[in-house]
Structure 1
Amino acid sequence: MPGLTLRKQQVSVEEIFHEGGPRVAPPLRRAAMVSVIVNPFAGRYEPDIAPFMETLKPLGLAMARRLVEALGGDPAVVEGYGKGAIVGAGGEIEHGALWHVPGGYAMREILGGAKAIVPSTKKVGGPGARLDVPVTHVNASYVRSHFDAIEVGIPDAPRADEMALVLVMTTGPRVHARVGGLAAADIKGEDGLR
């Protein structure tokens, strides 16, 4: 990817069969991908950082495709998503905000136009920092059963001059979700909320 220096990537898939209650079949699958890149703005203040979002777009698309593949290859099984960034100590929190558009729109495109806003989190942290990435339903943010978070991190990342960019996807609600709210079966699909 031109203009981007990638050091490493990590893909993980978790399968949850039960949470103390009855076993579910198929299991809930939760996938996360982290890409560690050089932060071109580390160590200095740069007033105009927005153009770097264009550089990140191909990475977002590639990561979204890899996550769908990790979950079996069918975008239709993906029901939840989220994104995040950990910026190394030589950067600033705003550098993590550069991931909002390339990460979020990539997942929405790969999933065929998902309607809900992609929840996000970001922070500045050193090697081994962990991030709880929020998850919501891909088409309706008010579907409570899909409110979740996936913890991610890499032991040696991000270094001070790096960023760890994250995308996550899930195949369904929390196992044994039972606290009410809008059900996925009742989504109207009009506004990304309901």
Structure 2
Amino acid sequence: MNIRKIITITENTLTEGGRAVDPQHRVAVVAAVIENPWKGQGFVSDLGPGIEQNASDLGELLAPRVMAALGSAAQAYGKAAIVGLDGEIEHGSALIHTLKFGDHFRRAANATTLLPAVEKRAAAGTVFDIPLKHITDATIRSHHQSIEVRIADAPHPDEILIALAASTSGRPQQRLAALSTEGRK
């Protein structure tokens, strides 16, 4: 795996709706910009060897870094794969939609739910939103949130940007009723 750079972003929300957020809402993102393992190969029918060579190592690299950047227990989490223009969306999906990748984050966050994800093919500097959901119950609405990310020089056409995100709580000042309070008709 050829890594060009690793980026760490943290966001702390101190006020929302004109009121203090207590405790502060913190979101951390850690992204690795890697050379696309399938670059220059044309259409590859079997992505398995590239998954085997890279997915677990990426998860092992990113999961502890995002937890350290968060500095607290995670309550919500998510992931992203942004593929450079010379690659396929399936290349990013192959790396992040496998237990070899995701289980590193689940263990680090003490999580059990599926990791919500965004994946797309885009030019360097594209803006993307990483969706986050609760780490043990994806139906908890207060934790459905997202963080907007932009890395100015990534991904290059032959790269993939892989990112993990975690938050210390649900949305700041959330006040929607629990999903269980809504009756179905």
Give TM-score, length-normalised by structure 2.
0.90
Is the CA contact (8 Å cut-off) linking 1:83 and 1:119 kept in structure 2? Answer: yes
Task: Note the alpha carbon deviations across 1:54-99, whole angstroms, 9 max, x for none.
Answer: 3221221221101111122x5xx21000001100011011001121
Aligned pair count reads 176
Query: Could you tell me which residue of structure 2 aligns to residue 149 of structure 1?
Result: 146
- Return the match for 1:49 from 32, 47, 53: 47
**Which residue in the other structure is 1:160 paired with?**
157
User: How far off is 1:146 after superposition?
Assistant: 0.4
Measure, in 1, the Cα distance between the counterparts of 2:51 and 2:123: 23
- The equivalent residue for 2:81 is 85
Aligned to 2:70: 71
Residues 85 and 121, structure 2, Cα contact 8 Å, conserved in 1: yes
Amino acid in the other structure paired with 1:140: D
Tell me, in whole angstroms, the C-alpha distance in 2 between the residues paired with 1:104 and 1:134: 15
SS of residue paired to 2:119:
strand
Counterpart CA distance in 2 for 1:103 and 1:119 is 13
Percent identity, please.
Answer: 37
- Please state how far the C-alpha of 1:150 moved relative to its aligned partner: 1.0
Q: What 5-or-longer segments of structure 1 have no aligned partner?
A: 184-194
Counterpart CA distance in 2 for 1:16 and 1:30 is 9
Aligned residue type for 2:127: R
Match of 2:178 among 173, 176, 181: 181
Partner letter of residue 8 of structure 1? K
CA distance in 2, matches of 1:164, 1:129: 11
Matched letter for residue 6 of structure 1: I
Distance change >3 Å, CA 91–CA 128, structure 1 → 2: same
TM-superposed CA distance for 1:107, in Å, is 0.7
**TM-fit CA distance, 1:32:** 0.5
Corresponding letter in the other structure for 1:65:
P
Question: Is the contact made by 1:137 and 1:147 (CA closer than 8 Å) also made in structure 2?
Answer: yes
8 Å contact 1:103–1:167 — kept in the other structure? no
Distance across 1 between alignment mates of 2:23 and 2:89: 38
Letter in 2 for 1:122: E
CA distance in 1, matches of 2:177, 2:97: 30
Q: Is the 8 A contact 1:42 1:160 kept in 2?
A: no
| Structure 1 residue ranges, 4+ long, deviating more than 4 angstroms after superposition | none
CA drift of 1:127 comes to 0.8
SS for the counterpart of 2:48 is coil
RMSD of Structure 2 on Structure 1 (CA):
1.4
Structure 2 residue aligned with 1:10, among 3, 7, 27?
7
Shift, 1:182, TM fit:
4.5
Cα-to-partner distance string for 1:36-61 (whole Å, 9 max, x where unaligned): 00002124111111232232212212
Q: Give 3-state SS (helix, strand or coil) of 1:8's partner.
A: strand
Q: Name the structure where strand makes up a greater proportion of residues.
A: 2
